[in-house]
Structure 1
Amino acid sequence: MIYQISLSNGKERATLKQKMMNLGILAHVDAGKTSVTEQLLYLGGSIRQAGSVDRGTAQTDWLEVERKRGISVKTASSCLCYQGVQINLIDTPGHVDFSGEVERTLGALDCSVLVISAAEGVQPQTRHLWRALEQLGIPTLIFVNKIDRAGCDCEAVLLQIREELGARLFITQTVLQAGMEDCSIEPKDYGGKAREELAALAADLDDAVAELYLADKPIAGELLMQTISDACRQRQLTPVCFGSAKLGVGMEALLQSIIRYLPAAQGSDGAPLSGLVYKVDHDPVLGKGAHIRLFNGCIKSRDPVPLLNSDEPEKATQIRRFNGAKSQSLDILHAGEIAAVYGLGSLKAGDIVGKQPLDRFCPLTFPLLTVQVLPEQEQDLTALAAALQELAEEDPLLDLEWLKEERELHLKITGKIQLEILSELLWDRYRLRAQFSSPSVIYKETPAKTGIGLERYTMPKPCWAVVELKAEPLPRGSGVRFESAIKEKQLPYRYQHHVELSLRDALKQGLYGWEVTDARFTLTGGEHHHVHTHPLDFFVATPIAVLRALTDSGAVLLEPIVRVTLSAGEEFLGKTIRDILQMRGEFDSPAVSKGVFSLEALLPAAASLEYPIAFRSMTSGKGSYYSEFYRYQECPLELGATARRRGIHPLLERSKWILHARSAL
């Protein structure tokens, strides 16, 4: 059903057609994102009273760890209906350690509200989120929150948004009073000179309006507003609203602007099935729940569901729509909707439902640290491994490594706050106590030059697999590429596919024990035997050929570099610059304003691991420090680190490796 919503601008009215939208609420930590969500749910009638983050009563922060800490650590869904439009709200974490949750959620959105604090303005994570929204082309409304805060300057914030985000703004309201408890706003008056400016803006966006404008003919207000609304939905303009979620000021205007200026969900039940798993959780009764944004097709309860990475479909046992911690059962999930589907046991966050790949991902974070997880009680190791496996399905960036022979568990993390949350989740959900080793930086490696590796695995019979690989370095950020220079006649394609699969697994540990990246591996030779060859043989031979190619090429160690933004009193600038130089860092010219400096620098992650604590201590807690992954770059071996080889070394322990790979140990 399509709903008609009438919107007014003075005496003139415009009409939109919208049915449903999937809306993300995004922000830098502490900008008031969850409070905005609570106010929208209250106005939509979904809750009787807006909850409070401080009091632990927020609808979308229902996990015990979220209520205790007053921060969002998991994506949460809720819904409301306003003026006949169903809005599915997705509240995301704001802390940078949980950017992986935001990253997976972005692909499920039709549109978003980016919350910016009027007191702090555009912050580093704000810029990070804006770049991702821009890359994915997600129409966005900016909500300037906390206008009740003393000293806030809305005009200065708007200027900062224009300069730092490069956004072309459409201001929907006028702030009458700000920085006080009785702050107030009103709809922007587009009469007189303001109407002329609006007409010029619309003429720049639409040819029909431009003809009228250039001919100096009157332009109907309905046409002007329709042009502006269309431009906002196409991301040519960014609407801006103001308010205070804490006081409930400007929230209804925000909700009306969401409906007016942001796009609805699109899709057809009759089209081929296509959906994204943006979140996974585990229910103690229903099991694994895959939260799916369905773009096309439909999923019915008890029906088989085809999956992109599986040859066999899996049956949907139940479908539930969530509203915070509460949920209701559905018989069918339609195109454009979001819901949790149970019974799809093989899925993890980020997987695709249907057989059509989706290009809706924008990496926001890269885990730069690794830790070993140890049970408090040795007998809990197996249970701890199972619990971490569930958590890794919910957050694949954890990349759990379970070394059964060494009886070790390893995780990748983005920051120390994430470790604290993991520890609390393990206790709250599984009643398991765990300890974590000190985080160590994740290095990578790449071939130094072209190298060739050959392995002839022909004994002991029955076996026959010959693999020859050429390794070549590629530019930074290229990842790993596999190519084949031989034909089906020389080596059947099914065996070539086995070589590629085995190669990618073997590259998790190079000569220095780190993952190999920025390299091209070309299959230049290969043999099989029509009697003796078994498919497993190429999984035995390939890792040996890979390490021989890397030994021939040599390896270059790569270290992660982070881009940091620092801000503090001008008196700390000299000491900060000295610290950066001591950490082998690079920096841009600092900016100084009103006795406060801001500075951007590139720092080796390993050298700067403890610097956020030192910086805040030096500035007595008044300094601001934000970091994000920037790139990997070459690092002298003596300044970096090598990793202990995990498992059997295929090249140095070839005979033992063959027995291990053939399950003969």
Structure 2
Amino acid sequence: MHLLNLGILAHVDAGKTSLTERLLYAAGVVDEIGSVDAGSTQTDSLALEKQRGITIKSAVVSFPLDDVTVNLIDTPGHPDFIAEVERVLGVLDGAVLVVSAVEGVQPQTRVLMRTLRRLRIPTLIFVNKIDRRGAQDDGVLRAIAERLTAAVVPMGSVTALGTRDAQVTPGLAPAAIDVLTDHDDDLLSAYVEDAVSYDRLRAVLADQTRQALVHPVYFGSAITGAGVDPLVAGIKELLPAAEGDPDGPVSGTVFKVERGPAGEKIAYARLFSGTLRVRDRIHFGDDGGEEGRITAIGVFEEGAHARAETVPAGRIAKLWGLDAVRIGDAIGAPRKAYDHFFAPPTLETVVVPGAGVDKRSLHLALTQLAEQDPLIGLRHDEIRQEISVSLYGEVQKEVIQATLADDFGLDVTFRETSTICVERPVGTGAAVEFNKKDANPFLATVGLRVDPAPTGSGVEFRLEVELGAMPYAFFKAVEDTVRETLGQGLNGWQVTDCTVTMTHSGYSPRQSHAHQGFDKSMSSTGADFRGVTPLVLIEALRRAGTQVYEPMHRFRIEAPVDTLGALLPVLAALRAVPQTTGTRGGTCVLEGAVPAGRVHELEQRLPGLTRGEGELESAFDHYAPIARGTVRRRSRTDHNPLNRKEYLLNVTRRVGG
């Protein structure tokens, strides 16, 4: 028996969770198919998931398909929860992308397929809802070929389309040979010589599917069960088994973290190599710097999870005992760096506690939510006693609000959503503070130079001083403080795409008096370097100057041609810039860029402008400089090194001058 870790992905409402229920029923794991509308599905366990009929958190369920054990991961379809999908992709062996036969290829479908293809994850496409009025087969196939991938192989035909009697006749479409020969010259030669057997075609199809070169397309209905058996056969035959040496070094990845009934952390991990056992001590974290002991293991079996003493390579397990674990952590030997496949959130809002809500309890609850979703960034403003959270969209507000109420008993509201900008240096600036000179109250010499760096390069720290000029801990204190200080630039936004070079260093060696111990007042400590670095860095930034950039989404709008006249003025008012315009029959296609903060408004206004026929696809694309004369600042949450006097009063009692 072999393992397959399978992801089910789709645009919201395409029927992804219903398909999961149907697969569980087909495998004999459940006696009755759960309903999304009734809130009785196996994988949507959160109250809000049942209430809204959408998946918010990824869920794992296991079932057997003959000699294949499938660990199926149901993922969210709403764009606001794309981070939840992101974490699953790195642990999959294969995927099923669900497309609605009625709505066709939708915006999120395109985002997901682009990522699946980039990561070369073997993917089957399931066209669901063939029993619904308005369902299409050939039209959806054309849309898939045009908007997702041309390398599609239809795996059957549909009769009684759009009715409850819709059925699927399995079979390899004649067009399959054209797609398969594009990637196989030997097959092409055999085809020309009329020597291609059906068995050889199936073998080539399986091989190319496992290499993510082609994507078989199945039709069916998760509700009626039509076409599900051929899909199950395709999952068994065409997708690759999980690989991994159970006798090798332990190596895995954490893709989900939740809290148990007693508040304990539970890590969901895919094991790529080795075998984990209860009571094993393991290293984990980005750099393997954390260590913990496995106190319990849970594995997934036939629709439930059971306790186990061991978990071998290839499997997904729940792990207890790793108190400091975070999503994305490597377990044991690092397999590879955890990459983010999707852009970080570009919106934020202030959480406003309701009457009687204790701010400490709110802080603790939000911290726990951030543990479960590392892209929910928390920002604490101690001066104003406020907490901000970063977001992908407005639906996340509702989810956070409901989670705080249901799980923690905390009533909150939110302020208006704002955009998260970044700052970049526009020139070069340098500054230095010398030990025991001028008004420097810190026993440390630090000189820093800030230079612009290419877009997307992040932050690099360099040394122009000898590493042996002072203890390494002092250099580390400077670098760590530089990175922390760059979280709030001259206008309060995170500073990125720059190189910070340390140009001066100096310290006061350890001093002591006769018959006495260490004299801290005369000797440099790490605190001196952490204290002076923000003053030096902000002054260097001030001399370099910074430019504020706002996040921009690329957008693609399909709408009736006759609505273009109403659409263009609204796009201009939202500061959206169409860059290409085309027509396809009676439909116009607009592509361009729009500020991230205006996407929600565009979503709301589009139906009214296009008689409900407009379709919007958007995703983060780049940061663009804010127009000159426009000042967009963010309130500071640090000790404000922009104001030297205020900073020194806040940071140290050893204020000189």
Same fold (TM over 0.5): yes
Q: Deviation at 1:595?
A: 4.3
Q: How does 1:565-644 map to 2 (within 5 A)?
A: 565-593=556-584, 595-619=586-610, 621-644=612-635
Identity %: 36
**1:321–1:328 CA contact under 8 A, matched in 2:** yes
Matched-pair contact (CA < 8 Å) for 2:246–2:313: yes
Aligned partner of 1:610: which letter? E
* Counterpart pick for 2:545 among 535, 538, 554: 554
Matched, 1:327 2:327: no
**Preserved contact between residue 251 and residue 273 of structure 2 (Cα < 8 Å):** yes
Instruction: Output the CA distance in 1 between the equivalents of 2:237 and 2:153.
Output: 13
Aligned equivalents of 2:352 and 2:266: distance in 1? 28
> Out of 350, 359, 363, which is 1:381 matched to?
359
Matching residue of 1:529? 508
Aligned counterpart, 1:242: 219
Distance 1:120 1:477 in 2: 36
Q: What is the aligned counterpart of 2:17 among 4, 9, 34?
A: 34
Contact 1:307/1:353 (8 A) holds in 2: yes
1:156 Cα deviation from its structure 2 partner: 2.1
SS across alignment from 1:587: strand
In structure 2, do the counterparts of structure 1 residues 424 and 621 end up closer, same or farther at CA, with 3 Å as the change threshold? farther
Match of 1:7 in 2: none
Equivalent position of 1:395 in the other structure? 373
Which residue pairs with 1:511 in the alignment? 490
SS at match of 1:80: strand
Pair 1:76–1:662, CA change in 2 (3 A): farther
Instruction: Name the residue aligned to 1:98.
Output: 81
Q: Deviations over 1:468-502 (max 9, x none)?
A: 22212223222222222333223444433322211
Partner Cα distance (2:198, 2:357) in 1: 73
| Structure 2: distance between partners of 1:623 and 1:376 | 38
- The farther-off stretch of 252-261 and 649-658 is 649-658
Query: Which residue is equivalent to 1:134?
Result: 117
**1:51 to partner: Cα distance:** 1.1
Residue equivalent to 1:414: 392
Measure, in 2, the Cα distance between the counterparts of 1:638 and 1:57: 55
Among 143, 147, 157, which residue is 2:130 paired with?
147
Q: How does 1:244-263 map to 2 (within 5 A)?
A: 244-263=221-240
After superposition, the Cα gap between the structure-2 partners of 1:67 and 1:625, relative to the gap in structure 1 and judged at 3 Å, is: same
User: Greater CA deviation, 618-627 or 325-334?
Assistant: 618-627
What's the secondary structure of 1:573's corresponding residue?
helix
Q: Secondary structure at the match of 1:425?
A: helix
- Paired with 1:107 and 1:485, the residues of 2 have a C-alpha distance of 39
Q: Distance in 2 between matches of 1:659 and 1:24?
A: 51
Q: Tell me what 2:520 maps to.
A: none
Alpha-carbon contact 2:434-2:440 (below 8 Å) kept: no
* 1:576 maps to amino acid: L
In the TM superposition, residue 77 of structure 1 has moved relative to its aligned partner by 0.7
After TM superposition, give the deviation of residue 638 of structure 1 in Å.
Answer: 3.3
CA contact (8 A) 1:80 1:87 kept: yes
CA contact (8 A) 2:12 2:77 kept: yes
Tell me the distance in 2 between the aligned counterparts of 1:201 and 1:625: 30
Measure, in 1, the Cα distance between the counterparts of 2:423 and 2:269. 36
* Pairing partner for 1:299 from 272, 276, 283: 276
> In 2, Cα distance between the equivalents of 1:162 and 1:494?
57
The one-letter code sitting in structure 2 at the alignment partner of 1:164 is R
**Distance in 1, Cα, partners of 2:576 & 2:117:** 29
Matched, 1:475 2:454: yes
SS at match of 2:298: strand
5+ residue gaps, structure 2, are 511-522
> Which residue identity is paired with 1:308?
G
> Structure 1 residue 114 and structure 2 residue 97: aligned?
yes
Unpaired stretches in structure 1, ≥5 consecutive residues = 4-18
Equivalent in the alignment of 1:61: 44
Map residues 40-55 of structure 1 onto 2, 5 A cutoff.
Answer: 40-55=23-38
Match of 1:566, as an amino acid? I
| Structure 1 residue 432 displacement after superposition | 0.9
Conserved 8 A contact 2:62-2:304: no
Residue 564 of structure 1 is matched in structure 2 by 555
In the TM superposition, residue 135 of structure 1 has moved relative to its aligned partner by 1.9
Alpha-carbon displacement from aligned partner over 1:167-204 (angstroms, at most 9, x marks no partner) = 412222122332222111112157xxx3xx65665555
**Cα distance in 2 between the residues matched to 1:183 and 1:614:** 36
Which residue does the alignment assign to 1:356?
334
Counterparts of 1:328 and 1:620, CA distance in 2 = 52
**Residue 498 to residue 324, structure 1, CA distance change in 2 (3 Å):** farther
Tell me the secondary structure at the aligned position of residue 610 of structure 1. Answer: helix
Say if 1:405 and 1:390 are closer, same or farther in 2 by CA, change over 3 A: same
| Secondary structure at 2:597 match in 1 | coil
Q: Does 1:436 align with 2:414?
A: yes
Q: What secondary structure sits across from 2:284 in the alignment?
A: coil
CA shift digits 1:362-412 (9 cap, x unpaired): 432421111111211355111111111110000111111234454221111
* Deviations 1:88-134 (CA, angstroms, capped at 9, x unpaired): 00000000011110011111111111111122222111111112112
Match of 2:517 in 1: none
Structure-2 separation of matches of 1:325 and 1:279: 18
| Contact 2:474/2:525 (8 A) holds in 1 | no
Distance 1:508 1:325, change over 3 A: farther
- Label 1:199 to 1:521 Cα distance change in 2 as closer, same or farther (>3 A): same
Query: Structure 1 residue 647 and structure 2 residue 642: aligned?
Result: no
Measured after TM superposition, the shift of residue 576 of structure 1 is: 1.1
Structure 1 pair 662/248, CA: closer, same or farther in 2 (3 Å)?
A: farther
C-alpha deviation, 1:274, in angstroms: 1.6
Decide which of 175, 181, 193 is 2:158's aligned counterpart. 175
3-state SS of paired residue (2:45): coil
Distance 1:525 1:436, change over 3 A: same
The 5-angstrom pairing of residues 211-230 of structure 1 reads 212-213=190-191, 216=193, 218-230=195-207
Closer, same or farther: CA 445–301 of 1 in aligned 2, 3 Å: same
| Alignment CA distance shift 1:126-1:324 (3 Å) | farther
